[in-house]
Amino acid sequence: MSIIEAIVLGIVQGLTEFLPVSSSGHLVLLQKIFGITEANLFFTVMLHLGSLIAVFVVFYKDIWELVKHPLSDEFKGIIVATLITGVMYLILGKIINDSYSGSFLAWGFLYTAFLLYLVTNYRNKKRGQDITIGRASFIGFMQGIAMFPGVSRSGSTIAGGLLTGVNKEKISKFSFILSIPAILAGAAKEVTEVTFENIPWTAVIIGVICAAVSGYLAIRFMLAIIKRQKLSYFSYYLVILALFILADQYFFHMVF
């Protein structure tokens, strides 16, 4: 892997992890374009951990409050949502892993586009609600669906909160903090499959730095977008991207 590829993948991972456009989907697409194979799994794990640094930098005060109050509704909600996502992986794990071949990619992007458009135009009469166990369960279910490449984790969880009437500020913080156990669990699973041989450490370090910096910028940008509830802007991009992928899969075969 070249330094340029590491920079591009690091920036894309950081941005797409928190922008509602699916980091897994974009990494699958770029790996197809660059011809990167599973031999670079360690690099993917490190990029995810790099983007996680951004969450701790932006939300360190909120994370510390949760640690100090483990019986709070939000802390319980994170546990419940994470458990539901985990159960969904146990049930759907093989299907999810098979979907990383890229055949599902365009449909995942289209699903995310529809979800973002829906939540932008949907007006819940009970807006401003707290995160209850029931709402956290639905958010966890939405996060479980986002394990498929092309389906955005941040977009799905934020949409899940907004659709059930959760306060915009609360669901944005909850979604980003919920990424901590999700990313750590994913990294722990992937690292068991890693072969620690011939690792390009320079590329890894540069990629991690790029993922952390771009992730920080993406979180700040998303907080402003959620406040204005203009998530549908991303849906237009995803529809165009999905159409290009479908055209390539069925007609041109340049990447797929």
User: Rounded distance, CA 155 to CA 184, Å?
Assistant: 19
CA-nearest of 203, 150, 155, 176 to 39 is: 203
Q: Is 47 in contact with 5 (CB distance < 8 Å)?
A: no
The SS3 call for residue 66 is helix
CA distance 36 to 184: 23
Local structure of residue 252 (DSSP, 8 states): I
User: Does the pLDDT at position 7 exceed 90?
Assistant: yes
Q: What is the pLDDT of residue 56?
A: 96
Q: Give yes or no for residue 32 having a pLDDT over 60.
A: yes
If you ran DSSP here, which 8-state letter would residue 191 be given?
H
Kindly tell me if the per-residue pLDDT of 38 is higher than 70. Answer: no
CA angle 125-131-134, nearest 5°? 85
- Do 237 and 16 form a contact (C-beta atoms < 8 A)? no
User: pLDDT-derived band of residue 39, with 50, 70 and 90 as boundaries?
Assistant: very low
pLDDT bin (cut points 50, 70, 90) of residue 10 is very high
Contact (Cβ atoms closer than 8 angstroms) between residue 249 and residue 110 = no
Here the tokens at position 229 are 């509830």
pLDDT band at 207 (very low <50, low <70, confident <90, very high): very high
Region 171-198 average pLDDT = 85
Measured over all CA atoms, what is the biggest interatomic distance in the chain, rounded to whole angstroms? Answer: 56
> What pLDDT band is residue 160 in, cutting at 50, 70 and 90?
very high
The model carries a pTM of 0.91
Distance CA 137, CA 139 (A): 5
Mean pLDDT of 36-44: 65
Q: Return the exposure string of 60-85: e unless at least 16 CB atoms fall within 10 Å of the residue's CB, then b.
A: eeebeebeeeeeeebbebbebbbebb
What pLDDT digit, counting tens, does each position of 87-144 carry? 999 999 999 989 988 889 999 999 999 999 998 887 666 667 889 999 999 999 999 9
Tell me, what's the pLDDT at 37?
60
Q: Quick one: which of 117, 154, 139, 132 has its CA closest to 229?
A: 117
Q: Give yes or no for residue 64 having a pLDDT over 80.
A: yes
Specify the pLDDT at position 41: 64
- pLDDT for position 74: 93
